[in-house]
Structure 1
Amino acid sequence: MTTKSGCGDPQHLRGIGMSHRRLENGLTSSPAVMFGEALRFAREQAGLKQEDLAKLLHCHRTVITRYEGGKRPMDRDTVEKADELLAMGGLLVRLWERVDWHADVEHPDWFQKYVELEEEAVGVRVLQYMRINGLLQCEEYAYEIFRLGDARNNPQWLSERVAARLSRQDRFLTDDGPSMIVILHESAIRTVIGGPGVMARQMEHLLSVGERTNVVIQVAPFASRARKLPSTSVILLEMADGKEWVYSESLYRGHFSDAPTVVQESRRDFDLVRGAVLSMDDSHALIAEAMEDYRYAERRAERGVVAEEQLQRRQRGRVHRGSPRIPSRRRPRA
């Protein structure tokens, strides 16, 4: 199965491993996974399938799967109802109370967890530095991003990663898709990936995507007057049940939190930054200007290559193999 890949930095190219979090064949140090295993055991002892418990709890089967895998926390009301339905006498509630559900998630499969949350999100807000966010990347740009981290130069590996990234965009790039508000710092637009030709096509893609009714793209210029700019890219995910997650990245791992204080602070920072960015029209104009600049640079580069090739052909024509170079005689004028 192809893993859906990350936002664009080389650290997203790492493999995905979950064996240390599962109990099928060994131990785990994760309290969340232990709680999920207890829930699974109780469900099976009650003779219920995941579909059955999902109906009783008024949710989808995949939600039960994530509860039992320790990938998604249950709220207290749901835990209490599950405890009663499964006749656990309060044990599930006591276990749930012992888990730090607000702890940051830091493990090798961190981006897979993000993708799973993204697939259920009804709203996404993004503040992005240095790179275009994965949900807004065109095919050429995504290819170059992955190529930067492919030391093996494996065409099949690159093709699979690009296809996985583009497939994540499908549910967002439709007229009835989830809302997506993206603030691109100007550094994401000015940082050249793959050359001016690739950047020109990426800018064109941004302009096209920005025309969709569910997508808002605004630019935070270098000279932004925002009182406080977060030091790293941040994504806020709004779920159908009203729950919100904050996701950010450090060098080798992702960080998740649904702690109310963290969510509130991140939402406030996002709103403050958005109040100081360019309007949608001005952002469109800046991206269009960058597109024309990249197209001009691409044409100049192409002309430079042609001129260099012509010069090399002329030089080859003037070199006599195996003999010294002899200046040509001037023909007498008529």
Structure 2
Amino acid sequence: MANIRNLDPSASPLDYYGSELRRLREEAKLNQDQLGAILFCTGSLVGQIETARKVPTREFSERVDAALLTGGLFSRLVGLVLKSQLPNWFQPYAEMEAKATYISTFQAQVIYGLLQTPEYAREILGARNEGVDLDAKVAARMERQRILDRDTPPLIWVVMSEAVLHQEVGGREIMRAQLAHLLRMQEREWVKIQILPFTSGAHAGMPGSFTLLRFEDNPDLVYTEDFVRGHMTADPAAFREGSLRYDHIQAASLSVEDSARLIARVMEERYGDQHAMA
């Protein structure tokens, strides 16, 4: 049976997307199964998206645009829909992240979000989010990464603790793919990755991860998180302190070239095929 739940288009971006999908599908005189066949998905999925029970992907949206000749409407809407799947407290940061011209971050425990593979992100996001729509959460994180493919992407300089490479998230295959992804990303001239080695001892990043955002037309920001929510401030004193700490962390880290070699070595020695056969 077709989903016929009525939506309030003003309730959320997801509701608006669903109501527009239904409206344009009906204008095209297609039922849900017929549109699903054109999109290479089930009519049930079309119905779930039309009733805001399922979050659409960017691929689905592009196929809808092609099938219904919408002029790119759903490809534009899906960005808003996926952004709305981010935690409310995180959305202001994501908006500023997308505007930044220079992002520098220290990550003590996990791979930086903009450099995560979907599989790694799923493990991280699912660790304490039982019952949530993980597909939607992962899609939202991948949507954030689209800033890396802009014509003029931000310069991103990432320093990560060596511990991040050894923390086995999701198993060896996921970690091997994640570390391989880091090496591929480092080939982009605007992405730099350094590893803070275990041998550095006590360092300026001991209090935890943080991110610095720099802009052309906005005040610089420093962002931190605790286990409840994130904290973003444009306070100049806080930004100066973050910048100073970041400089000290960078100075204690391996060079970009040596960091790439360490990532490759850990990938082969810890997560390679020979390790699996041992």
| TM-score, scaled relative to structure 1 | 0.54
Measured after TM superposition, the shift of residue 176 of structure 1 is 3.1
Shifted more, 192-201 versus 158-167: the winner is 158-167
Equivalent position to 1:177, from 143, 146, 153: 153
Residue 132 (1) aligns with residue 111 (2): yes
- Conservation of the 8 A alpha-carbon contact between 1:230 and 1:269: no
Q: Give per-residue Cα distances to partners, 1:160-214, cap 9 Å, x unaligned.
A: 1111111111112457311000001111111110001100000000000011010
Q: Are the structure 2 counterparts of residues 112 and 141 from structure 1 closer, same or farther at C-alpha, using a change threshold of 3 Å?
A: same
Q: Which residue of 2 aligns with 1:282?
A: 258
Residue 121 (1) aligns with residue 100 (2): yes
Residue 223 (1) aligns with residue 199 (2): yes
**Root-mean-square deviation (Å):** 2.0
Amino acid at match of 1:221: P
Equivalent position to 2:239, from 234, 259, 263: 263
For residues 213 and 226 of structure 1, what CA distance do their matches in structure 2 show?
30
For residues 275 and 242 of structure 1, what CA distance do their matches in structure 2 show?
28
Unaligned runs of 5+ in 1: 3-107, 305-334
Q: Are the structure 2 counterparts of residues 227 and 139 from structure 1 closer, same or farther at C-alpha, using a change threshold of 3 Å?
A: closer
For residues 142 and 116 of structure 1, what CA distance do their matches in structure 2 show?
20
Q: Are the structure 2 counterparts of residues 254 and 110 from structure 1 closer, same or farther at C-alpha, using a change threshold of 3 Å?
A: same
Measured after TM superposition, the shift of residue 261 of structure 1 is 0.7
Shifted more, 142-151 versus 116-125: the winner is 142-151
Amino acid at match of 1:118: E
- Conservation of the 8 A alpha-carbon contact between 2:108 and 2:208: yes
Q: Any idea what SS the aligned residue of 2:148 has?
A: coil
Residue 253 (1) aligns with residue 229 (2): yes
For residues 275 and 204 of structure 2, what CA distance do their matches in structure 1 show?
39
Measured after TM superposition, the shift of residue 150 of structure 1 is 3.4
Q: Any idea what SS the aligned residue of 1:251 has?
A: coil
Unaligned runs of 5+ in 2: 1-12, 15-86
Residue 198 (1) aligns with residue 174 (2): yes
Q: Are the structure 2 counterparts of residues 162 and 227 from structure 1 closer, same or farther at C-alpha, using a change threshold of 3 Å?
A: closer
Q: Any idea what SS the aligned residue of 1:262 has?
A: helix
Measured after TM superposition, the shift of residue 231 of structure 1 is 0.9
For residues 194 and 186 of structure 1, what CA distance do their matches in structure 2 show?
18
Q: Any idea what SS the aligned residue of 1:275 has?
A: helix
Q: Which residue of 1 aligns with 2:128?
A: 149
- Conservation of the 8 A alpha-carbon contact between 1:173 and 1:212: no
Runs of 4+ residues deviating >4 angstroms: 298-301
Higher helix share: 2
Q: Which residue of 1 aligns with 2:220?
A: 244
For residues 168 and 150 of structure 1, what CA distance do their matches in structure 2 show?
19
Q: Any idea what SS the aligned residue of 1:246 has?
A: strand
Indicate the percent of aligned positions where both proteins have the same amino acid: 36
Residue 160 (1) aligns with residue 139 (2): no
